[in-house]
Amino acid sequence: MKCGQIIDRLEQAVPLALAEQWDNPGLQVGRREAQVNKIYLALDATDEVIEHCRRAGADFLITHHPLLMGGVKKINSEDFHGRKILNLIESHIAHYALHTNYDVAFMGRLCSDYLGMTDLLPLEETGRDENGAPMGIGTVGMLPREMTVRECCQHVKEAFSLEHIKVFGDMERKVRRAALCPGSGKSLVSCAIKKQAQVYITGDMGHHDGIDAVDQGLVILDAGHYGVEHVFIFWMEAFLRQEFPGLEIVSERIAQPFQIV
């Protein structure tokens, strides 16, 4: 199987045109004509992930987050990006990423399904699909039932297999209308407030962002950037197994990229 054949199918399902202008999804390192026998899936192309990919004998690494987001002026072993690129090339591993294009196409609704949310609309609309329905980043909708913030925390923890959630707001307040932005969502707090969400489930929430949101009537559940987005790996594995049953698929072990001590 050629790398380009896999990329073509991925881009049919998750078009690059859906990505935000600042983003850089697509083929990061490698050749489209390279032969692929084993795919390795992860959320990030860290040094550890690349080493795991190499040890597994995989020749195609697919991640959610792109390895390269800014300009690269030099590729050498003295720079951490350069070391990753060299390691991938020397190990004959191609690297492809599906980022905000995947967020728009699938991530919001996928994670909402984990929570059993209904009546979904995009949190931030970025366009329309072929049927004229709105598409965008994140979702706003209704939780399965009215619940306290404390109960909502437990609901989110169970849905995404989490041990910890950081909360800004009253734990005993009752909520039903929720906003969800997998990954980093502090820039969309105003969208959640405008769309009358009572609780906002996201990651990477800063101190001032959290307390300011509470002062505007919005409870924040910070489930972590990795905490929610890791379900990308499960979705991608299922998709690839269906589309390319002859290929071997290996996934990175699900584990938070930090420790709380």
Report pLDDT digits (tens) over 171-196. Answer: 999 999 999 999 999 999 999 999 99
Average pLDDT, the chain: 97
What is the pLDDT at residue 70?
Answer: 85
Q: Residues with Cβ < 8 Å from 10, sequence gap 6 or more?
A: 62, 96, 98
**Mean pLDDT confidence for 222-244:** 98
DSSP string, the chain: -BHHHHHHHHHHHS-GGGS-TT---EEEES-TTSB-SEEEEESS--HHHHHHHHHTT-SEEEESS-S--S-----STTSHHHHHHHHHHHTT-EEEE--HHHIIIIIHHHHHHHHT-EEEEEEEEEEE-TTS-EEEEEEEEEEEEEEEHHHHHHHHHHHHT-S--EEES-TT-EEEEEEEEEEE-GGGHHHHHHTT-SEEEEE---HHHHHHHHHTT-EEEE--HHHHHTHHHHHHHHHHHHH-TTSEEEEPPP--SS---
**Mean pLDDT confidence for 55-69:** 97
> Is residue 71 pLDDT above 90, yes or no?
no
Q: In Å, how far are 60, 63, 114, 176 from 89, measured between CA atoms?
A: 11, 16, 37, 49
Domains and CATH numbers, the chain: 3-98+230-251 (3.40.1390.30), 101-222 (3.40.1390.30)
> Is residue 72 pLDDT above 90, yes or no?
no
> Is residue 93 pLDDT above 90, yes or no?
yes
**Mean pLDDT confidence for 107-116:** 98
Helix axes 3-13, 231-243, angle to 10 degrees: 120
State the pairing for strand pair 118-128/60-63.
Answer: unpaired
Tokens describing residue 64: 């959610």
